Chain A
């Protein structure tokens, strides 16, 4: 685990890049950079009026890692191969973020940075739920 201190630094650098992206989207286009809202608006049709902006944003999120991948350390995402877990998790994330109207980027990064009570409360709840889920499914049930 000697790589952990380096991971903090990469985390901070990556975090600054994420925040910079959000700053460009806000100051440039006047929009909140929330991943679930950008995707969800395309899926349920509520974002039809600015679909091009959403698609271009998501295309860049998808494409840039392809460019960076060969330049960067060997990368493994360690995702589970349990299809039931993947499907259940995907459904929960999709439904939950849309009902809550935001996820880690919208409520977390963009909300907390403007001291939005909604952003802070949402973040407290999804972190608590995530923590309890990991404890339950990893340490008690041993599924993940």
Chain B
């Protein structure tokens, strides 16, 4: 139960932050990516603002355990790999096209109107298909 309450608080802060910061407004995201247009710096402030509490939280994990027990995530994997780059490029293309990424896609469902539901449904379909797509890529071009 404690785990679910904490998940609700975390999700609530995440959703509120995405809403308040303007990151569910697709023109702000595309405006930040569009360095040749009327450049909008907001996204850099959102990223910077989010990284500060997270960096403190990571520092705080040293020598401690999570509140509900268990262990903290393992240290980051040092190996980069092809999938990281291929996946990030595909993600970036979709992000630029619609101005939405997974978090804001959920946070904007209630008030964004039908286009957000179309994007969300397509995103879920993509996530469902991803393991098969990854397997096919691996078979066609075996990794190093």
Contact = CB atoms under 8 A, between A and B. Distances in A.
B123 A90 contact: yes
Interface of B: 3-4, 6-28, 30, 33-38, 40-58, 60-61, 65-73, 76-78, 80, 83-103, 105-113, 115-116, 118-131, 133-134, 137
A52 B28 CA distance: 32
B120 A30 contact: no
Query: Which applies to chain B's interface (DSSP): helix, strand, loop or mixed?
Result: helix
Given A21-B17, A60-B11, A130 B119 contact: no
Contact of B49 (A12, A98, A129): A12
A78 B50 contact: no
Given A91-B123, A94-B125, 12 more contacts: A13-B21, A18-B14, A20-B13, A29-B6, A29-B66, A35-B106, A58-B11, A80-B98, A91-B94, A92-B126, A96-B89, A100-B91
Interface of A: 1, 4, 7-8, 10-33, 35-36, 39-40, 43-44, 52-54, 56-66, 68-69, 72, 75-81, 83, 85-101, 103-105, 107-114, 116-119, 121-123, 125-135, 137-139, 144
